[in-house]
Structure 1
Amino acid sequence: MPTIHEELNRRQLLYSLLMPVMNLYVPGLDKGKGLYFLFIKAETKTPGGLLARPVLTSYYKSDHFKSRPYDPFNVYTSPNETILCPDSIQSMYAQMLCGLIMREEVLRVGAVFASGLLKAIRFLQVNWKQFAHDIETGTLNPKVTDPSVRECMSKILKPNPELAAFITKECSEENWECIITRIWPNTKYLDVIVTGAMAQYIPTLEYYSGGLPMACTMYASSECYFGLNLKPMCKPSEVSYTIMPNMAYFEFLPHDDSSGLVDLADLEVGKEYELIVTTYAGLCRYRVGDILRVTGFHNAAPQFRFIRRKNVLLSIDFDKTDESELQQAIENASVLLKEFNTSVVEYTSYADTKQIPGHYVIYWELFVKDAANGPTDEVLSQCCFQMEESLNVVYRQCRVADSIGPLEIRVVKNGTFEELMDYAISRGASINQYKVPRCVSFTPIMELLDSRVVSKHFSPALPHWTPERRR
């Protein structure tokens, strides 16, 4: 996406508004620090010689971030050197270690997306013994080789046997429920995006945090930064963003009809629109691909709820299943798992057309609190059926007409989706902006998923469908 230097000034202005808004709802944020897991990605160049890098890397490497003035409301536990380390593993290690050392000062914990915060928790699960050793001895793991990171950590890391013993006690237990508030007891909220596809992570974050509020503060993309959530402590399902009209020129394409573009000032509450932007950096009437619903107004400025990304589909025949429908179907099916203290940690899907008829394949990674009382094969088959019952009428019609086969759930080993993320990052994805793809078709990814399958389950019956009578 094209950008220009002055765009950083505009984005910095939006960042500068985040904490003043948050401070209206959460007092005392100037009395501590934020534990944020932030990363950069290596830069490349286009064939024409232009610098190419993720938007967040551009911001973190700019003077706007590196030379930002001191703000007591916006102090991080992570030194700039750890964030700017190009090795994401060394960066994660150093940032988590800083967070553990300053655990009493942490007032908020976050990452760009919910998936990034969960990856950090998983990293702690795997490496806590080494963290405890480093803290006890005051020496940094030799696997962290970046000179600037080692230098800055030498000023922070001192022998602390008492803290090391505490980390060992908390992390050696099998039960990691409320681990965030156990280790960082003064945490007031999680700062993560949990709208859209990220809503899938809400139950897992609630488990690890003990139900801490989740603040979705800002709405942005690589193309343009859009606006703010002026009520950041609301429930994730109620998040609405107020678009800042000075960030770009905004137009909207009504999603339910073929009428022309609508200006920002002419939107109607309750209607859904596709977002169109013309940016200062050169994009002209660019279709971002986000579907938004107008929820109200702040003064005269319309407010929006993010509904879904457009055209994320599964399709076998005439059916078309988008991301929000798939998400809702999985949520409905997950209800059957509650009595077994089991939840869906992560999922993706693909349309299997190798056989006739083709069928939907849904990969589930499950979190089972009590392995001795996990869901049975019959229950998981009923989950398949419940998903089909939750899908749209065209899908169910095609199933009854036998043009689509029974929906299949493939349960994968724990940690599979972390491996999927690591694979994507090894191929160049940004650790900051990585999102689990909700539909996959890339052969190596499907091979990775299939190699981790522990059980397969199919819908045992046809979903309900009756033809509508014509008048």
Structure 2
Amino acid sequence: MFDIIQTDWRKLVHDIETAKPKLDSLVWSAIPNDLRKMLIERLQPPNPELAKQITDIMSSSTLPVGWGKQLFPELIITQSCSGAALLHHNDKLKNILGSGVQLCGECYSSTEGVLGINLGYTSLNQFTFAVRFFEHSELNKLYEVVITNYNGLYRYRMGDIIKIIDYRNGNLPVFELVYRRSSILNHFGEHVTEQQIISTLQRSIKQLNEQLKTSFILVDYCATSVNENNLFYHRLFIELNPQQSNDAIILDQLLGYLFGHHNTNQELENSLKNFALFIDKDLCDSNYFYSDERLSSRLQSLDILLCKQGTFIKLKQAQMLGGASNEQLKVPHVIPETAQNLLNLMVVHSKRIKE
């Protein structure tokens, strides 16, 4: 939601100020007439004062920390997704909402149903099972979630890999979501997980921030496994978000250098090379099997591409145009080779960091 507000806040201001959506809006043109009439009634009366307040907040070249709280001053708690593959979004939300809003992961849910509830809101990735033969689970072991329908005729593999971390009331296991089976990078059995990549990126961005004296955070990432003329490697797309005005200037310089808009800057060039080297080395430290394949030269080093700002919003839009539901839309952290339209979009809006 906040991504949409940040991108289309001018449309929001227009609708509030005039109490009528723009007629040339693609969304508006697709809405039936009876629903249009009801929406226009709900927008009444025009509120130019609120429109001005939103403009004052959103028109800054660099949005202040807590701008989401400024837009919704009565907001005190928000339900958010959590888990290994989504935890980096919490940093982004904390920057948007500031320190006065509690982030709460309410439950472990999916399209198939609600499978668990959150026992401890202070730890956003601890849940309890709702459906499972859990009496055979062991502490600190990994399990894949399988659910059975009421009559027991069908079993569904959720694709979620969980780790049992505690027990409550004797036999109720508490678990954390580790990764999804479909989001593993693999060529020769190295099985690089989302959790490993996100942890590596967070450490690498921290190192980059210390080097450049910035405060970048990770917007999102996605990856794909590549076999190019029997050269095997993983390609990683990364988007960074500046937090301060100076960050925005430096990020513009980094992207300008990669896209050839700015002259070569030795300091920035070295920083990017060190960033790419640190990511690959840290991933080797995190995953023994990945390290072993790198040392054997069967796997080449990571192919790391830095994305323009707004690239992952474009990725979501492309997914929706492809028929994905807006309510259940998730950024794919692993894009298969078959999804060439998504891969092409990412390549067009990013540039390779050369080691």
TM-score, length basis structure 1:
0.63
Residues 62 and 248, structure 2, Cα contact 8 Å, conserved in 1: no
Cα offsets for 1:160-199 (capped at 9, x unmatched): 2221221121111123231111111121122110213112
Counterpart of 1:357, as a letter, is L
Q: Which amino acid aligns with 2:190?
A: D
Aligned to 1:208: 96
C-alpha distance in 2, partners of 1:240/1:380?
36
Q: Is 1:124 the equivalent of 2:124?
A: no
Partners of 2:184 and 2:193 lie apart in 1 by 4
Task: Give the deviation of 1:432 after TM superposition.
Answer: 1.6
Query: 2:160 aligned to 282, 290, 299, which one?
Result: 290
Counterpart in 2 of 1:241?
127
**Alignment size in residue pairs:** 320
Q: In the TM superposition, what whole-angstrom CA distance separates every residue of 1:241-274 from its partner, at most 9, and x where no partner exists?
A: 1223xxx5x23xxxxxxxxxxxx23433333222
User: Is this contact kept in 1: 2:311–2:349, CA < 8 A?
Assistant: yes
Per the alignment, residue 447 of structure 1 pairs with: 344
SS of corresponding position for 1:321:
coil
**RMSD of aligned Cα (Å):** 2.3
Change (3 A) 1:446 1:127: closer
Percentage of matched positions with identical amino acids = 23
Q: Does 1:184 align with 2:72?
A: yes
Residue equivalent to 1:5: none
In the aligned structure 1, how far is the partner of 2:52 from the partner of 2:156?
54
Please give the secondary structure, in 1, of the residue aligned with 2:159. strand
Q: 1:193 to 1:175 in 2, by over 3 A?
A: same
In the TM superposition, what is the alpha-carbon distance from 1:153 to its structure 2 partner?
4.0
Aligned: 1:371 with 2:248:
yes
Q: 1:437 aligns with which of 332, 335, 342?
A: 332
The amino acid of 1:213's aligned partner reads Q
Q: CA deviation at 1:152?
A: 4.2
1:7-63: CA deviation from partner (whole Å, max 9, x where unpaired)? xxxxxxxxxxxxxxxxxxxxxxxxxxxxxxxxxxxxxxxxxxxxxxxxxxxxxxxxx
Q: Secondary structure at the match of 1:195?
A: coil
Quote the Cα distance in structure 2 between the aligned partners of 1:438 and 1:184: 30
Question: In the aligned structure 1, how far is the partner of 2:346 from the partner of 2:77?
Answer: 33
Q: Distance in 2 between matches of 1:309 and 1:445?
A: 20
- State the partner residue of 1:380: 272
Kindly provide the CA deviation profile for residues 324-366 of structure 1, in whole angstroms up to 9, marking residues without a partner as x: 2222222221212323222221111112211443222111112
Distance 2:90 2:206 in 1: 15
Structure 2 residue aligned with 1:316: 187
Shift of residue 311, structure 1, vs aligned partner = 5.2
* C-alpha distance 419-269 of structure 1, shift in aligned 2 (>3 A): same
Q: Does 1:277 align with 2:158?
A: no
The match for 1:345 among 196, 210, 219 is: 219
Whole-angstrom CA distance in 1 between matches of 2:301 and 2:173: 43
Worse overlay, 282-291 or 391-400: 282-291
SS of match in other structure, 2:179: strand
Tell me the equivalent position of 1:398: 293
1:334 to 198, 202, 205: 205
* Structure 1 residue matching 2:272: 3-state secondary structure: helix
**CA distance in structure 2 between the partners assigned to 1:419 and 1:394 by the alignment:** 34
Q: CA deviation at 1:283?
A: 5.5
Q: Hey, what does 1:141 align to over in structure 2?
A: 22
Provide TM-score, normalisation by structure 2: 0.82
Does the 8 Å CA contact 1:289/1:309 hold for their aligned counterparts? yes
> Which residue identity lines up with residue 157 of structure 2 in the other structure?
R
| C-alpha contact (below 8 Å) 2:20/2:40 kept by paired residues | no
Please say if residues 16 and 43 of structure 2, whose CA atoms lie closer than 8 Å, have aligned partners that are also in contact: no
Question: 3-state SS of the aligned residue for 1:383?
Answer: helix
Return the offset for 1:228. 0.8
Provide the secondary structure at the position in 1 that maps to 2:87.
helix
Instruction: Pick one of 403, 406, 416 that aligns with 2:311.
Output: 416
Select 2:137's aligned residue among 263, 267, 287: 267
Partner-residue secondary structure (3-state), 1:402? coil
